[in-house]
Chains A and B, each alone.
Chain A
Amino acid sequence: MSEPMLKIENLHASVEESEILRGVDLAVNAGEIHAIMGPNGSGKSTLASILAGRDDYEVTEGRVTYKGQDLLALEPEERAHEGVFLAFQYPVEIPGVNNIYLLKAALNAKRAHQGLDEVDTVDFLTSVKEKMKLMGMDESFLNRAVNEGFSGGEKKRNEIFQMMVLEPELALLDETDSGLDIDALKLVAQGVNQMRSPDRAIVIVTHYQRLLDYIEPDRVHVLAQGRVVKSGDKMLAHELEDKGYDWLRQEEATEA
């Protein structure tokens, strides 16, 4: 079997002397969707942020290999050029910068890295508008400033829409389901399902199982106290939903 697209080995990370990740091991193959679940404070979002390149955390041990290269050695923008995408838990508002400009610049930066010409404006607009429709977004959105004045749900939908335009190879979704009503949740799930492809890996970080009612994961991992304490198939998510995270803690205690 070929190497996994993403391979995390014994990853330790701290913020201000306090250790958040305590030896995470994880392998994700192209074509798969993985869900990382866990209680608040387990380190799920930290893991997603470290993979995208946020420098608030210090990696103290371990390594992350992405498409055969050392992911942690790359700047955030280089990771984006290499096909990594993070859908933010809290997308940022950027007044004065229109969505369409940001999308085009982001796409062209990636294409330049791949040695491709800039995207054709007409083709770009056509494909962008198709994807907006799918996410239930109005066209006027393109000329609005990035996330400015968006509701929580609009921001999350915008993240998924950006993912669809940028077509990453590794998509990390950080609690994209939080704060969404059921209709928005379905739209987000529809967007993610459409992105499923043999060349793409998707990692969904979530506290709740409900998004997984609409997106079927290949693997489910439970993160607790900075480590993956249990992995399984989609049934694991249901089990967690039924029994709660306490169940795992008890199980761990019994094993110990």
Chain B
Amino acid sequence: MSTVDPIAERLIERLGGERPGDSVDWIAALRSRAAERLAALGLPHTKIEDWKYTSLKPITKRDFARPDAASATADAGAVEALRIPGLETHRLVFVNGHFAAALSDRDLGAQGLTVKSLAAAFAEDPEALRDRFAALAPIDFSGFTALNTAYADDGAVIRVAPKTQVERPIELVFLSTPQGQPVMAQPRVILDAGHHSEVTLIEHFVGLDDAANLTNAVTELKIDVGAQVTHYRLQRESRKGFHIASIHAEQAENSRYASHNVQIGGQLSRTDINTALNAEGADTLFNGIYLLNGRQHSDTHTRINHLAPHTYSEESYRGILNDHARGVFNGRVYVAQNAQQIQAYQQNDNLLLSGRAEIDTKPELEIYADDVVCSHGATIGRLDDNMLFYLRSRGVDEEAARGLLLYAFAEGTVEKMGLEALRTWLEGFVIDELPQAERVREFV
């Protein structure tokens, strides 16, 4: 007899109930398998090596309820204000994990593109998802993946036909709003990029009105031969909110996956980004930044699996940590024995602005091939005194000079983003997080 983890048991009790797709056998079976895994696994804890620096006590001591579909509404004006200036998108809005059709664009598809809510996809053509749902994100990647697989209320299913260049990015806005008691929003996103297609996906998580909810998101990206997926993520949960997410990408021959990840919000967040370079010529860029203040805790774990020869990866993460903030970065690069002549570069740079801020950073290279080019580096530092003096000697006051140097540091991440409208938009949120935001705006 297997034991049931007490935390998992409570979650199963609270989150259970009917869901779209339950009448389809394979979906019901998958969900019950996921629930069983959750019961056995429980949620991660600090005795698991991958979770050593991130205690989930603030999450496990709270009882999050299942969000209510009927109250999945938000002020239309507030939602409109979240639009990205100068960028037309196909936009879907979710409120606490439920698709809000009234707040979303009416016309979601385009030539060679279909975009549906997960509930609609289950209702209209469940068979099409049989080999895709939970195919890339293993049920037991962590207790949270099991949880999402068992209890995701909704999400998005995006299919890009072969050779299609999707002109407008697909924008998913995940609103977290207060709803009586804290709730657990569990969106599931599934994207299929057909061979030689191109698509940009934006995931924007935003907490409104100090929402103290938990978002537990899972995203699965299947990138076929020669396809290019550019994935922007902006995490702006409220400072009282919690954010757990895992992204799982599978890349075919000559495909490219670029992940740009900006993490600003949440009192506690954990993001796992994984990609598998399954065939020759596959190429990955992981580019991200975390900006942490107060007592925020943010943990980023990335895994790049080089499983074929001639595959390429470049990873650069930067962090600015102030006050009592704590950051964790773990970058794992795995190179299989047959994956000869691959290139993998990784860099993690951190600025600590306070003596009480903390960063735990760890590159983790596991290489079984013998003809590879791999590099990694991690830095932890303060602002450079020579740079500060240079700016001050030109008449820039100390406050503004500090702000400018922080901006310059963050710019190293932002400048790698291709779409100008998005870059400008994201840069605005980055500047807002700097202690000297107003002064910086005088210069840029």
Q: Which A residues fall within an 8 A CB radius of B?
A: 52-56, 75-77, 79-81, 85-86, 88, 90-92, 94-97, 101-102, 105-107, 109-110, 113, 145, 162, 166
Contacts of A105 in B (CB 8 A): 395-396, 400, 442-443
> Can you offer 30 A-B residue contacts whose CB atoms are under 8 A?
A55-B389, A75-B392, A76-B389, A76-B392, A77-B395, A77-B396, A79-B393, A80-B392, A80-B394, A80-B395, A81-B395, A85-B393, A90-B386, A92-B386, A94-B387, A94-B404, A95-B409, A95-B411, A95-B412, A96-B408, A96-B410, A96-B412, A97-B404, A102-B443, A105-B396, A105-B443, A109-B395, A109-B396, A166-B394, A166-B395
From known contacts A77-B395, A106-B395, A109-B397, infer whether A94 and B443 are also in contact, taking CB-CB under 8 Å.
no
- Complex Cα distance A52/B390, Å? 10
- Nearest chain B CB to A100's CB is how many angstroms away? 10
Contacts of A77 in B (CB 8 A): 392-393, 395-398, 401
Within 8 A of A (CB), among B88-136: none
Contacts of A97 in B (CB 8 A): 404, 407-408, 443-444
- Nearest chain A CB to B318's CB is how many angstroms away? 12
B393 touches A53 (CB 8 A): yes
A106 touches B394 (CB 8 A): yes
Contacts of B410 in A (CB 8 A): 96
- Complex Cα distance A162/B394, Å? 9
Contacts of A81 in B (CB 8 A): 395
Most buried by B among A75, A77, A102: A77
Confirm or deny: B433 has a beta carbon within 8 angstroms of a beta carbon on chain A.
Answer: no
Contacts of A52 in B (CB 8 A): 393
A101 touches B444 (CB 8 A): yes
Chain B residue nearest to A84 in the complex (CB)? B393
- Nearest chain B CB to A70's CB is how many angstroms away? 18
Closest 9 CB pairs of A and B: A96-B411, A96-B408, A80-B395, A76-B392, A109-B395, A92-B390, A106-B394, A106-B395, A77-B392
Confirm or deny: B405 has a beta carbon within 8 angstroms of a beta carbon on chain A.
Answer: yes
Contacts of B407 in A (CB 8 A): 96-97
Q: Which B residues fall within an 8 A CB radius of A?
A: 384-387, 389-398, 400-401, 404-405, 407-412, 415, 442-444
Chain B residue nearest to A83 in the complex (CB)? B395
Contacts of A88 in B (CB 8 A): 390, 393
- Nearest chain A CB to B409's CB is how many angstroms away? 8
Contacts of A56 in B (CB 8 A): 385
- Nearest chain A CB to B428's CB is how many angstroms away? 15
Most buried by A among B393, B397, B444: B393
Most buried by B among A56, A85, A105: A105
Contacts of A145 in B (CB 8 A): 408
Contacts of B398 in A (CB 8 A): 75, 77
- Nearest chain B CB to A85's CB is how many angstroms away? 8
16 additional A-B residue pairs with CB within 8 Å, beyond A90-B386, A91-B390: A53-B393, A56-B385, A77-B393, A77-B401, A80-B393, A80-B395, A94-B391, A94-B408, A96-B409, A97-B443, A102-B443, A105-B443, A110-B395, A113-B395, A145-B408, A162-B394
Contacts of A106 in B (CB 8 A): 394-396
Contacts of A54 in B (CB 8 A): 389
- Nearest chain A CB to B385's CB is how many angstroms away? 8
- Complex Cα distance A89/B394, Å? 15
- Complex Cα distance A212/B407, Å? 40
Most buried by B among A56, A76, A81, A94: A76
B405 touches A94 (CB 8 A): yes
Contacts of A110 in B (CB 8 A): 395
Contacts of B395 in A (CB 8 A): 77, 80-81, 105-107, 109-110, 113, 166
Chain B residue nearest to A172 in the complex (CB)? B393
Contacts of B384 in A (CB 8 A): 92
Contacts of B394 in A (CB 8 A): 80, 102, 106, 162, 166
- Complex Cα distance A101/B401, Å? 13
- Complex Cα distance A80/B401, Å? 14
**Contact among B397, B408, B443, B444 for A95, CB-based, below 8 A:** B408
- Nearest chain A CB to B12's CB is how many angstroms away? 49
- Complex Cα distance A54/B405, Å? 18
- Complex Cα distance A55/B385, Å? 10
Chain A residue nearest to B444 in the complex (CB)? A101
- Complex Cα distance A166/B396, Å? 13
